[in-house]
Amino acid sequence: MKTIFGKWNIGIGLSVMAAFMIYGFVLVYLRDFAPGKEAWIASYSTGKHFEARLAHVHGNLFSLLNIVFGFLLVKLNLKQNLAKWASWLAMAGLLMPLGILGEVYLGLPFYFVLVGGLSMFIATVVLAVAIVQANTPEQI
């Protein structure tokens, strides 16, 4: 039976990737064109500026991972239970870059970053297990 999971990973992954691309344009503006850009450049590799760039990079990476996970989940015939867990955990992984932004701009605690990073790691392991368990040609 073909899995029903993965479609949301692709859609959400593309949407979040587009949002972090726009955020990248904002970061370029702040570095190159904004008034007071010299202060931004002077503290470019420390503190909030570094974390903002970290969120941008991880946001696009985790979005891409969701797109890849979603594609694999749609195309491969995996066990439903493992596919569901991999799908939901990969989407929960997006809490990492969103948590970094929450820390930078809202002063939120770091828990979202840890939960998101751990979720993406576990999603990767679960997907790997699901693919290894799919041992017949019809399943892969």
- How many domains, in total, are found in the chain? 1
CA-CA distance, 74 to 83, in Å (whole number)?
9
CA-CA distance, 59 to 112, in Å (whole number)?
13
In a domain, 15, yes or no: yes
Task: Give the predicted TM-score (pTM) of the model.
Answer: 0.90
In a domain, 138, yes or no: no
Residue 3: pLDDT band (50, 70, 90) is low
pLDDT tens figures, 46-61: 888 889 999 999 999 9
In a domain, 139, yes or no: no
CA-CA distance, 136 to 131, in Å (whole number)?
10
What mean pLDDT is predicted for residues 15-24?
97
In a domain, 110, yes or no: yes
In a domain, 2, yes or no: no
What's the one-letter identity of residue 37? K
Task: Give the per-residue pLDDT at 31.
Answer: 86
Contact 73, 9 (CB under 8 A): yes
Domain CATH number, residue 49: 1.20.120
Whether pLDDT at 98 is above 70: yes
Write out the two tokens for 79. 């066990």
Residue 41: pLDDT band (50, 70, 90) is confident
What rounded mean pLDDT belongs to the chain? 92
Residue 40: pLDDT band (50, 70, 90) is confident
Contact 116, 97 (CB under 8 A): yes
| More confident: 137 or 45 | 45
